[in-house]
Amino acid sequence: MRALFLAPALMMLGACASPLPKPDPQQAWVELYSSADTLLMADRLDGKRWPDGRYFQVTPGKHELETRFQFEVRSGGSIGMQSEPLRMTCEIRLRYDDFAAGQRYRIEARQQLMKAQAWLYDEQRNVLARGEVMRCGTAI
């Protein structure tokens, strides 16, 4: 089971070894942020697999961004026993109609018990969209 969660982490490590591309001024750049004990990765752009989990780069206009957010949840063990934490994965979709060329955006995610929350912000920290959690589970 843990091997299922190691694959995305290993891919992320490989991606971290290569530098991020330079942002194209004709497109919008979307960075992803989550706390150090969680993992937020870009997954799909307009329904198509995105090749790099570290960011999105989109043309101006309307887009649908899908991310995967992973975090651990302590499960309840019996008295005096500690159980292994559950590794949760949530698929989150964000839709925004007005991406602008040359602008930077940020998706932030955080866990809320066994679910997740996410927001899309502009450079002035204005909330532009709220993420829709499509599904969360231990085996997504």
**β-bridge partners, 86:** 73
Average pLDDT estimate for 4-33: 73
* Position 116 confidence tier, pLDDT thresholds 50, 70, 90: very high
In degrees, to the nearest 5, what angle opens at C-alpha 45 toward C-alphas 122 and 135?
90
Kindly give, in sequence order, each residue whose CB lies less than 8 Å from that of residue 101, ignoring residues fewer than 6 positions away. 25, 26, 27, 28, 59, 60
pLDDT in tens, 32-78: 999 989 999 999 999 999 999 999 999 999 999 999 999 988 766 55
Check: CB of residue 87 under 8 Å from CB of residue 12: no
